[in-house]
Structure 1
Amino acid sequence: MNFIKSLVLVAVLCCFSCSNAQQKDGLTTPKPHVENNNSITLASKVKLYSKKLGEERELLISLPENYSQEIQNYPVIFVMDADHMAMFELTRSINNLLAETDFMPKSIIVGLTNNGNLNNRFQMTSGANRGSGFYENKAPDYLHFLQHVVIPYVKKNYRVANHKTIIGLSPSNGPLHEAFYNQPNIFDSYIFLAADLYFNYSKSQSKGEKLMEAMKDKSHSKATVYLGMGSKDVDFNQKWGTQFSEYEAQLIAAKNENIRFKFEIIEGDGHYEMAAKGIKNAFKHIYSEDIWNRQNIYHLNRGTTPVDIKKHFDRLSVHYGFDIFPPESKIESQTRALLRWGSPENLTTAISLLTQAIEYYPNSASLHLILAEGYQKSNDTNMAKRYLNKAKELANKFTIKNHIWFSKKLTELSQ
C-alpha cells in the first residue's frame, strides 16, 4: 500500500514538474483584475510568466482618466520595482498632476513588481560587486522580460503611442543600464533615480564610466536621460558628488546632440526620498519648457488664436513622434471664460476653439454642451440644439467629471 502511494506521489510530482518546464512566456491570469474609482482607473493587475526569470510577475497598469472615452494613443512609462517605496503610486500621481497642468501628456503607467524579493535582483552586477551576494545579475533577464513579454502585452491590449520611458531607483536601475548599452532602441527616455554610478560595471570599469562612454557615442539612438541623486548621498561620500559633476562636464564637452541629459543633486533628500522630486523633475526634463513652450499658448484674450494652439500641438506631436492633444480641462476653462465675457469676438473664438477641440475629444459631453451654449449666445438656434442633443447623448454613455455644473448648464440650455 505504501508502495502504491509512493508511485502516485511520484507521478503527481512529475506532472507538476513537466507543466512548469513547459510553461511559456505570457499571460498567466485569464483576466486582469481592475481596481477603479469612478472614471479614474487606479490599476489593473495582471500576471505574466517569464521563462528567463523562471517565475511569473505581477504588472500594475494605470490608465489615464477618461481613457475609455478618449481616442488618442498614450506614451508608456515603465516603472521598475513598482511595489517598492511607492514608486508606482508616485509615478502615477506626478503624471496626473503634470498632465492636468499641461507640463506633459497623459500616460499609461506600467509597474513591474518584484514579488516581495530583494530589489537587488534588478542589479546588473554580480556578487563580486562590493563583496555582496545580493547583486544577482538579473538585469538582462528583466530586460528580456520587458522586451519580449511585457511590452508586446501592453501594445496588444492598450492604445499606446510610440514613446516609452523607463524609471529605476538605485538597484532597479540595472535594466536601464542594460537597455541603454545593449538595446538602445527599446526606450526613448531613461530616468535613473539614486543613480549609483560609482559602483562597478566590470572589474575595470565603473557604471558611471560605462554610461558616459555610451552617452558620448554619437551613433547611439536618440534618447533623453535624467540622472538624480540625493544630497545626503553626497554628504556620505563627497567623491560621489565630484564624480557626478565630472561626468556632466564630460558630456557637455562631448556635444552629442543625440543625447539630451540632466544631472541633478536634490538638496536635503536622501537615497530613496529623492524619488518624488526626481520623478517630477525628470518628466519636466523629458517634456522641457524649451520644447513644450506652454506659457502663453492659451492666452486667447491676448492675441493667441485657435489656429495657433493647433499649430503648437502639431509641432509637439512631430517632435515627440506621437499625437499630443491640448488638455480637455484647459480648453473647457478657456472657452467658458470667453463665453462669460460675451463679446462677439469672444463668442467667435470660443466656437472656433470648441469645434477644433471636439476633433481631439469627440466623446466629450462637456465640450459639446459648452459649444451649444456658444451657438445659443450667438442666436444660432439650430446649431445650439444640435450640440445640446449630442451632449445629452454622450452624457448617457460616459462619466461626467463636473456633474453638478453639467446638470445645471444642461437644464439652463434646455429651457
Structure 2
Amino acid sequence: MRYITFGIFLTILVSASKTNANESHDIYNSQSQSAFSNVSRHVIESHSLKGKRTIDVSLPVNYLETGSKVTYPLIVVLDGELLFHSVSGFAQFQAMNSQMPEAIVVGIQNAPDTRRDMTPKPINANGDPLWFGGKEDQYLSFIQHEVLPFLEENYRIANFKVLIGLSPSASFTLHSFWKQPHLFSGYIVINQADFKAVGYGKETIFDKVIESVRQQPEDKRYLYISMPEGGAARNPKIVDDYEKLERALSPYLPQKVSFKWELIDKQSYAAVLPAIMSGFELIFPAQRWDVNYRNFVAGENGATLRNIKAHFSELSEQYGFMALPKGERFYNRNRLKRIVYVLINEERYTEAEAIVQYWLSLYPHSGNAYDTLADLYLAKGEKDMALKHRKKALELARRNNDHRVMIFEEALNNLKSTKK
C-alpha cells in the first residue's frame, strides 16, 4: 500500500488547482436565535422517586445531518444543575476536534434538598449509619426504568453509556457499577473515597466493585476515580484504598476493565473539570479518535476509502457503536472533505465520488456533502449534475436552519450564471 507523503500532500493543498474546498463553511451551525439550539428540556414524572425530575438533553452538532440508523453514545451527568452545561460544552468541543466521538449528553437535575438521597447510606467508624442517603436503588430504578427508556424512545441512543457523578452522586455511580453492571459502559467518579454502607455487609463499595469485575463477562467497562490532593492529604487512607483497588483490578486490565485513579491538584470542586477531562481520555483515548486523515490517502485505486472504512470499523467494533469519520470540521482540514478535493485535483474522480457517497451514507442530510459533490461534477465538466447537487445542498441547508444558507445560495447563483 503506497501512502502519500506529507510533503506531497501539502504541495497539493497549496498549489494552483482546478477545484479548491470552500473553507468558509467548515461545519453545520444553527442560525437559531437561541445560543443553545441543540439543548432540550424535559420533565419526567417519576414513580420511582415520587416526584418530578428535570432532564436536559444536548445533541451533537451534526445530529440533524446524520441518518436514522446512526446512534450516539450517551453521557448521563448527575447533579445536572451544577455540571450539565460544563460537561455538554466540553464534550461538544472535544468531539468537534476529534478528541472523542460525538455524544448525546443528558443532565439530571436534583429536586430541592434531595442531592444526598441517592448515595448508599454510609456507616461511620463506630458502625452507625449516617443521617443521609439510603435511596440509591430508587434512583437506580428511576434511571433504568424511566430516564433511559424515555431517551431511547425520543433520541438515537447507542448501547454505550457513560455515567458521571460528583461526591454524593459519585457514591451512587459506584453503586450502579456493581448493582446494575450492564447499564453503563463507562463511569467517571469524582471526589470519592471508599466507604461502608447499610446493606453492604462487611464489604466496602470498592470491594463491591472488585467482585463485580471478577464476575462480569467479557463486556469491557471503564472506571475513573479521582480526589483533590487536599482531600487525600487530610485522609491518607484514601490513597491506600485507591492503590488496593488498583492491585485488585490489575489481573482484569485491560480486557475486562480500563481503570485509572488520580489526585487532582485543585481544591474541592475546582478539581471537577480536570477530572472529567481525564475520565473522557480514559474512555476515549484521543490518539484513537484524532486520526491523521492524510495517512488514509493511498495511490492504489480504491485503497483510500478502504483505509478510512477499516479504521472506523475497528473503532466501531471496539466500542459497540458506529464510529463516525468527520465529513467536516471546524477550522481543521483533517476530514473527509479535504481528501475528496485531493483526489479531485489528481483527477481520481471515481474514488472521490466514492468517498462523497460514503460521507452521504452517514450524513444523508448534509448540505456540505452535496455541495462538495457539485464541485466534483464541475471538475468533471458535468454542469447539469453540479446544478442538481447545488440545489440539493441549499434545500438541506434551509431545512436544517443552517447558517451557511447564504453561502450555498451564492454558489448556486454563480453556477446558474455560468450556464447562461
TM range (shorter): 0.7 to 0.9
Q: Separation in 1 of the partners of 2:204 and 2:262?
A: 19
Which residue of the partner structure matches residue 50 of structure 2?
54
The Cα shift of 1:283 comes to 1.6
Q: Separation in 1 of the partners of 2:273 and 2:348?
A: 41
Query: Residues 129-167 of structure 1, C-alpha deviation per residue, up to 9 Å, x if partnerless?
Result: 886744221111100111111111111111211221111
Match of 1:362 among 361, 364, 369: 364
Query: Residues 332-357 of structure 1, C-alpha deviation per residue, up to 9 Å, x if partnerless?
Result: 94435763896324766544322221
Q: Is the contact between residue 297 and residue 308 of structure 1 (CA under 8 Å) also seen in structure 2? A: no
* Equivalent residue letter for 1:378: K
Which residue of the partner structure matches residue 91 of structure 1?
87
Which residue of the partner structure matches residue 374 of structure 1?
376
* Equivalent residue letter for 1:62: S
| 1:412 alignment partner, SS class | helix
Residues 256 and 325 (structure 1 numbering): CA distance in 2 closer, same or farther, change over 3 Å?
A: closer
Residues 314 and 221 (structure 1 numbering): CA distance in 2 closer, same or farther, change over 3 Å?
A: closer
Between the aligned residues of both structures, percent identity stands at: 26
Residues 203 and 319 (structure 1 numbering): CA distance in 2 closer, same or farther, change over 3 Å?
A: closer
- 1:284 matched to 2:289: no
* Equivalent residue letter for 2:84: F
Which residue of the partner structure matches residue 152 of structure 1?
149
Q: Separation in 2 of the partners of 1:286 and 1:255?
A: 13
* Equivalent residue letter for 1:400: D
Query: Residues 238-285 of structure 1, C-alpha deviation per residue, up to 9 Å, x if partnerless?
Result: 22123222321332245572122222222x213322221222221221
Match of 2:171 among 145, 150, 174: 174
* Equivalent residue letter for 2:256: N
TM-score, normalising length: structure 2: 0.79
| Worse-superposed segment, 274-283 or 247-256 | 247-256
Q: Separation in 2 of the partners of 1:38 and 1:336?
A: 31
The Cα shift of 1:204 comes to 2.9
The Cα shift of 1:68 comes to 3.1
Q: Is the contact between residue 218 and residue 256 of structure 1 (CA under 8 Å) also seen in structure 2? A: no
* Equivalent residue letter for 1:190: Y
Q: Separation in 2 of the partners of 1:302 and 1:234?
A: 52
Alignment of 1:377-392 (within 5 A): 377-392=379-394
Q: Separation in 2 of the partners of 1:176 and 1:345?
A: 54
Residues 197 and 53 (structure 1 numbering): CA distance in 2 closer, same or farther, change over 3 Å?
A: same
Instruction: Report which structure shows greater RCO (CA 8 Å, sep ≥6).
Output: 2
Q: Is the contact between residue 317 and residue 323 of structure 1 (CA under 8 Å) also seen in structure 2? A: yes
The Cα shift of 1:123 comes to 0.9
Match of 1:246 among 244, 247, 252: 244
Which residue of the partner structure matches residue 257 of structure 2?
259
Q: Is the contact between residue 121 and residue 134 of structure 1 (CA under 8 Å) also seen in structure 2? A: no
| 1:192 alignment partner, SS class | strand
* Equivalent residue letter for 2:246: E
* Equivalent residue letter for 1:243: D
Q: Separation in 2 of the partners of 1:80 and 1:342?
A: 48
Q: Separation in 1 of the partners of 2:111 and 2:391?
A: 50
Q: Separation in 2 of the partners of 1:122 and 1:329?
A: 41
Q: Is the contact between residue 100 and residue 329 of structure 1 (CA under 8 Å) also seen in structure 2? A: no
* Equivalent residue letter for 1:152: P
Which residue of the partner structure matches residue 321 of structure 1?
320
Q: Is the contact between residue 190 and residue 224 of structure 1 (CA under 8 Å) also seen in structure 2? A: yes
Which residue of the partner structure matches residue 135 of structure 1?
132
* Equivalent residue letter for 2:259: F
* Equivalent residue letter for 1:156: E
Q: Separation in 2 of the partners of 1:311 and 1:40?
A: 35
Which residue of the partner structure matches residue 310 of structure 2?
311
* Equivalent residue letter for 1:183: Q
The Cα shift of 1:232 comes to 2.3
Q: Is the contact between residue 366 and residue 400 of structure 1 (CA under 8 Å) also seen in structure 2? A: no
Q: Separation in 1 of the partners of 2:389 and 2:58?
A: 32
TM-score, normalising length: structure 1: 0.80
Which residue of the partner structure matches residue 44 of structure 1?
40
The Cα shift of 1:227 comes to 1.4
Q: Is the contact between residue 64 and residue 365 of structure 2 (CA under 8 Å) also seen in structure 1? A: no
Q: Is the contact between residue 77 and residue 163 of structure 2 (CA under 8 Å) also seen in structure 1? A: yes
The Cα shift of 1:226 comes to 1.4
